[in-house]
Amino acid sequence: MAQTIELSIDGMTCDHCVNAVTSALKSVPGVADATVSLAGKFARITGEGLDAKKLIEAVREEGYEAAVR
Ligand SMILES: [Cu+2]
């Protein structure tokens, strides 16, 4: 079943950051799409069997802070 998770993301300052977070999220198993908002400081992730912990870990590995919002 498709699901959507929203994460608040801290530390993004430019489009490079947005791209880094977007590709990190898309590399997590089960993710179909990820939309990241620089201005809104959040990410909307859609997919199947999503694990919020793994999504947050992927963002942290890129050097940004994330939390379920
Ligand atoms: Cu940046």
Side-chain-facing half-sphere of 55: CA atoms under 13 Å: 31
Predicted confidence at residue 16, as pLDDT, reads 98
pTM greater than the 0.85 cutoff:
yes
Q: Is 53 helix (H, G, I), strand (E, B) or coil?
A: helix
Distance 38 CA to ligand 1 centre (A): 9
Q: For residue range 47-61, what is the model confidence (pLDDT) as tens digits?
A: 999 999 999 999 999
- Residue ranges of domains in the chain: 3-68
Per-residue model confidence (pLDDT) at position 1: 79
49 CA → ligand 1 middle, Å: 29
- What is the pLDDT confidence band of residue 28, given thresholds at 50, 70 and 90? very high
Ligand 1 mean position to 1 CA, how many Å?
33
| Domain 3-68 grouped into CATH 3.40.50.300 | no
